[in-house]
């Protein structure tokens, strides 16, 4: 456990995450950053012409590579895996689990996942939320004890939600919703060991029911009936972590103050996931503020400045 104990754990490898990592590592704190830097919006940007210091513009991949290199220069550990679960421990630390089923404990956490709240696009999804449709196993799994449930999704987040559902029921099916399954070997093995049925399907058209979710209809016209419907498309993001750990939200964005603090001590957020303007410069500033707040909390300081 000691090898996996960090001062600052950052979820997200974009400009906000890079900035937070630079400040955390330069403060001589054990800092780790999770995420595939090639999957973010910055990396996908063809040209960035409005970021300070690059008057002749720079491509998104180039700026991403420089940001990652900068963070690593000061000792940041970068792990290219997906965080699929986050828990607050009784002693005030946090435990994060990645898609390889490895756990990491940290004194503080900075969420910098970007805008990653993924809706499934299934008709009546919003209308039936809280009426059989859920986005959080930790929050709602208890209400489906020994029931027949389905998890809709194709990636590691769907796999992790399924494994957590085993605490409440064994009658679980995963539907891919028109995609190929993309589980890590560890999650795939755990699902197979638990005899979870994962079915590759065409897209799901709608979920219907009289006052509650009762059945789903696929685009090929076939129907399936379940007691509970857990949505887990995309990857675990700000909303996913918020629902699990009790972060206060504002219109699907993490609510923070000017220093990146959330309502949970030791948990900070930065960048697009907070609803700030989706600009590199803004995200970098947010990451700096969140990291400085984490540093001050860890060291018991009211003021902390990095002069050079």
Beta pairing partners, 1: none
Is 136 marked active-site? yes
In a domain, 38, yes or no: yes
Contact 126, 200 (CB under 8 A): no
DSSP tag of 2: G
Count the residues in the chain.
Answer: 308
In a domain, 124, yes or no: no
Burial of 145 (0-12, 13-18, 19+ CB in 10 A): exposed
Q: What is the CATH number of the domain that holds 269?
A: 3.50.50.60
What mean pLDDT is reported for the chain?
A: 92
Question: Looking at the structure, do residues 181 and 145 belong to the same domain, yes or no?
Answer: yes
pLDDT of residue 138: 79
Tell me the per-residue pLDDT of 182-217, one tens digit each, with 9 for 90 and over: 999 999 999 999 999 999 999 999 999 998 999 999
Tell me which of 207, 231, 255 is where a domain ends.
231
Q: What is the pTM of this model?
A: 0.83
Q: Where are the beta strands (DSSP E) in the chain?
A: 5-11, 31-34, 77-79, 83-88, 94-98, 103-111, 133-134, 149-152, 172-175, 197-199, 204-208, 215-218, 223-225, 228-231, 249-250, 253-254, 267-269
Tell me which of 171, 206, 231 is where a domain ends.
231
Question: Looking at the structure, do residues 98 and 242 belong to the same domain, yes or no?
Answer: yes
Question: Looking at the structure, do residues 206 and 253 belong to the same domain, yes or no?
Answer: no
Tell me which of 215, 231, 247 is where a domain ends.
231
Using the structure block, give the residue that is written with the tokens 């956490």: 109
In a domain, 122, yes or no: no
Per the residue annotation, which of 7, 98, 140, 272 is the catalytic one?
A: 140
Ranges 28-32, 84-88, 117-121, 289-293: which has the least confidence: 117-121
Question: Looking at the structure, do residues 215 and 244 belong to the same domain, yes or no?
Answer: no
| CA–CA gap between residue 7 and residue 300 (Å, rounded) | 13
Question: Looking at the structure, do residues 137 and 104 belong to the same domain, yes or no?
Answer: no
Is 139 marked active-site? yes
In a domain, 305, yes or no: no
Give me the mean pLDDT over the 62-83 stretch. Answer: 96
Using the structure block, give the residue that is written with the tokens 């755990």: 190
pLDDT at 118 exceeding the cut of 80? no
In a domain, 128, yes or no: no
Question: Looking at the structure, do residues 247 and 111 belong to the same domain, yes or no?
Answer: yes
* Per-residue confidence band for 12, with pLDDT thresholds at 50, 70 and 90: very high
Pairing of strands 31-34, 103-111: unpaired
Q: Where are the beta strands (DSSP E) in 51-146?
A: 77-79, 83-88, 94-98, 103-111, 133-134
Tell me the per-residue pLDDT of 216-229, one tens digit each, with 9 for 90 and over: 999 999 999 999 99
Question: Looking at the structure, do residues 246 and 224 belong to the same domain, yes or no?
Answer: no
Whole domain around residue 30: which residue ranges? 2-117+237-299
Is pLDDT larger for residue 235 or for residue 10?
10
Question: Looking at the structure, do residues 244 and 219 belong to the same domain, yes or no?
Answer: no
Is 140 marked active-site? yes
Sign of torsion, CA 100 176 272 60?
Answer: positive
The two three-digit tokens of residue 19, written as one number: 């900035």
Question: Looking at the structure, do residues 260 and 212 belong to the same domain, yes or no?
Answer: no
Per the residue annotation, which of 85, 98, 99, 136 is the catalytic one?
A: 136
Question: Looking at the structure, do residues 194 and 64 belong to the same domain, yes or no?
Answer: no
DSSP H helices, 42-102, are 60-73
Question: Looking at the structure, do residues 245 and 217 belong to the same domain, yes or no?
Answer: no
Domain total in the chain? 2
In a domain, 308, yes or no: no
Question: Looking at the structure, do residues 261 and 227 belong to the same domain, yes or no?
Answer: no
In a domain, 126, yes or no: no
In a domain, 209, yes or no: yes
Burial of 229 (0-12, 13-18, 19+ CB in 10 A): buried
């Amino acid at each position: 456990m000691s090898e996996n104990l960090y001062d600052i754990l950052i979820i997200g490898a974009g400009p906000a995450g890079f900035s937070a990592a630079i400040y955390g590592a330069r403060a001589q704190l054990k800092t780790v950053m999770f995420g595939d830097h090639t999957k973010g919006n910055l990396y996908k940007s063809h040209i960035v012409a409005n970021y300070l210091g690059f008057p002749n513009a720079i491509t998104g991949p180039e700026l991403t590579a420089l940001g990652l290199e900068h963070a690593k220069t000061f000792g940041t550990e970068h792990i290219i895996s997906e965080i699929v679960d986050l828990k607050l421990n009784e002693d005030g630390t946090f435990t994060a689990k990645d898609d390889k089923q490895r756990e990491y404990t940290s004194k503080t956490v900075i969420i910098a996942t970007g805008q990653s709240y993924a809706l499934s696009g299934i008709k009546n999804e919003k209308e039936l939320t809280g009426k059989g449709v859920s986005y959080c196993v930790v929050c709602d799994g208890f209400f489906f004890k020994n029931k027949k449930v389905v998890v809709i999704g194709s990636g590691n987040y769907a796999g992790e939600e399924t494994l957590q559902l085993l605490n409440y029921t064994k009658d679980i099916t995963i539907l891919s919703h028109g995609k190929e399954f993309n589980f890590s070997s560890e999650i795939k093995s755990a699902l197979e060991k638990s005899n979870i049925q994962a079915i590759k399907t065409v897209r799901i058209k709608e979920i219907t029911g009289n006052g509650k979710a009762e059945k789903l209809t696929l685009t090929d016209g076939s129907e399936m009936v379940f007691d509970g419907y857990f949505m887990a498309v995309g990857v675990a993001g700000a909303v996913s972590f918020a629902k699990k750990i009790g972060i206060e939200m504002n219109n699907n964005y993490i609510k923070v103050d000017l220093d990146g603090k959330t309502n949970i001590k030791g948990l900070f957020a930065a960048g697009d996931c907070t609803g700030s303007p989706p600009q590199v410069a803004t995200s970098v500033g947010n990451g700096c503020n969140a990291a400085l707040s984490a540093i001050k909390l860890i060291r018991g300081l009211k003021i902390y400045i990095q002069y050079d």
